Amino acid sequence: MAAAAETLLDTAPGTPDFLLWEAETAVSSQPEAEAVRAVPALEIDAESRERAARFIGRLASDVVVEHGEAAPTRSLLEALHRAHAGEAEARRLVEMNVRTDVIERTIKAGHVMKVRQEVNERGQVLQHGQTAEEIQANSLRYAAGSWQMRQRIEAETRNMFRIEALQGRGLLKDNYFVVFSRAADNMTPQQAAKAGFFTDTMSLAAQATTAEGQGLTTESAFVAGKPHVKANRQDAAMVAGVAARLGVDLAGKTATQLIDTPLLIPKRLMSNGVIDVARWLDEAAGGTFFGQDVPTQDYLEFRAQCQQREAELEPTVQTIVAELIAQSPELRTPLEATQRLGKLSGAYLLRRAVTDEQIDGLVFGIESAAYLEAARLSSAQGDSTQAAFFLERAVQADDSSSCPGAGEKEETSDAAKPSEGGEGDGDCDFISKKCPLCGAKNVRTLVRKLASGQKHISGSCGCSKLA
């Protein structure tokens, strides 16, 4: 394997293809070990790591110089101000930011999304005028709120330089650059939640970047790290199992080390793109679907459903974009712009969630979810006044997040924290042996005391009632 890692050949001459994914049929086979390479083991990787180290060092002193000249860092804030002045390209950059936020805020597992990037004459990757270097500079400056997140973002920065180097050498034409980004494994659950990880699923993102047309595309598959909320995490074992299948040893690596160990996988082993990686992860987990304990579906049909889901969310995206641009003159810092995006996304998505029950209320936090369920119930009963009251409470309690590290959350007040008592004592979250409404077994049950004095009881089976 060491010899294979140092060569730029995909396979030895005459080696047969043992892993070919047909469009309609999954084939579970063992690919040849020499086909897949860990990028850090390639000889060309030393230069990428050195460039990344210089870039990170310059950011530490708040000076970014590329190609011998000062390069100002474009941000969401700058794009908003330019979009407010009528610049079309800046508006598309804002739309991309909002679209990504909406998807990542509402769908924590069971989704595939695809973004496209351009490559300029300097070999830099960019989207709507914003280079990958500028994106990483913003992350290093504003999203690295803890040493754990700092380490992850520095690993992502090295991957950014690796992608540009591999693209420049033509190695992404016939290969995918695959990164496994697991939820943090060096934080307490409270720290992880504050940093923006959704601890109910501890999802991982499998990201596959390749050359397509004149630019690049990155597909991301969001896969749960545990099959249900009370289960133990199995994401590390899932990734290690996929890597072993591909002839690479990733066992024992931490979440940050995995980000820093991307794989170069020939396209012939991933004929369906990142959806094949999601399938491998499920097989390594013993038969889940996108890491979840739910009925298995056809993967290609599900990918089409994901695309349809994004299309359905587009009107909400455009509403958020319009309001965010309208409010941009009052925003003064990049952090303010990111925080305003988060607040607007949470508010508009909660409004949508009253009638769109595909949105899991728990992504907004337990308290907000309880008010959302009460708003849904009131709306279904035709009580628009009560539904509006509960929706406003849900917005006030919103604790949702998009990508981890997108801004520190405020500490939850004592009044918003669940009490330690049972149902008759206030708020609680427990597993009920049997739902009293539908009879489903082992149902996660939430009981929340609302400001109206009522209690809202909801179960993971979908049942809910006011008491």
373 vs 465: CA distance, rounded Å: 8
Q: Are 222 and 202 in contact (CB under 8 A)?
A: no
Sign of CA dihedral 347, 352, 355, 358: negative
Show pLDDT as tens, one digit a residue, over the chain (467 residues).
333 333 333 333 333 333 333 333 333 344 444 589 999 999 999 999 999 999 999 887 654 444 333 344 478 999 999 999 999 999 999 999 999 999 999 998 999 999 999 999 889 998 888 889 988 988 888 887 889 999 999 999 999 999 999 999 999 999 999 999 999 999 998 899 888 898 899 999 999 999 998 899 999 999 999 999 899 999 999 999 999 999 999 999 999 999 999 999 999 999 999 999 999 999 999 999 999 999 999 999 999 999 999 999 999 999 999 999 999 999 999 889 999 999 999 999 999 999 998 899 999 998 999 999 999 999 999 999 999 999 999 999 998 888 776 544 433 333 333 333 333 344 555 555 566 666 665 555 666 655 555 566 766 555 666 66
> Which pLDDT score is estimated for 65?
41
285 vs 110: CA distance, rounded Å: 15
> Which pLDDT score is estimated for 193?
86
3-state SS record for the chain: CHHHHHCCCCCCCCCCCCCCCCCCCCCCCCCCHHHCEEHHHCCCHHHHHHHHHHHHHHHHCCCCEECCEECCCCCHHHHHHHHHCCCHHHHHHHHHHHHHHHHHHHCCCCEEEEEEEEECCCCCEEECCEEHHHHHHHHHHHCCCCHHHHHHHHHHHHHHHHHHHHHHCCCCCCEEEEEEECCCCCCCHHHHHHHCCCCCCCCEEEEEEEEECCEEEEEEEEECCCCCCCCCCCHHHHHHHHHHHCCCCCCCCCHHHHHCCCEEEEHHHCCCCHHHHHHHHHHHHCCCECCECCCCCCHHHHHHHHHHHHHHHHHHHHHHHHHHHHHHHHCCCHHHHHHHHHHHHHHHHHHHHCCCCCCCHHHHCHHHHHHHHHHHHHHHCCCHHHHHHHHHHHHHHCCCCCCCCCCCCCCCCHHHCCCCCCHHHCCEEEEEEECCCCCCEEEEEEEEECCCCCEEEEECCCCEEEC
Amino acid, single-letter form, for residue 362: L
Q: How far is CA 294 from CA 26, 148, 224, 226, 290, in A?
A: 19, 32, 11, 12, 9
Q: Are 69 and 179 in contact (CB under 8 A)?
A: no
Contacts 24+ apart (CB under 8 A), 374-383: 374/450, 374/454, 374/456, 374/464, 374/466, 376/464, 377/456, 377/464, 377/465, 377/466, 379/354, 379/355
CB atoms near residue 213 (< 10 Å): 8
64 vs 98: CA distance, rounded Å: 26
Say how many Å lie between the first and final Cα of the chain, rounded: 63
> Which pLDDT score is estimated for 455?
63
161 vs 166: CA distance, rounded Å: 9
Q: Domain coordinates of the chain in residue numbers?
A: 2-309, 366-399+418-467
> Which pLDDT score is estimated for 87?
93
91 vs 101: CA distance, rounded Å: 15
433 vs 230: CA distance, rounded Å: 14
118 vs 121: CA distance, rounded Å: 10
Q: Are 226 and 235 in contact (CB under 8 A)?
A: yes
> Which pLDDT score is estimated for 456?
61
Q: How far is CA 328 from CA 73, 337, 407, 461, in A?
A: 18, 8, 18, 41
> Which pLDDT score is estimated for 24?
30
Q: How far is CA 111 from CA 105, 107, 175, 337, 350, in A?
A: 12, 7, 22, 26, 19
226 vs 203: CA distance, rounded Å: 8
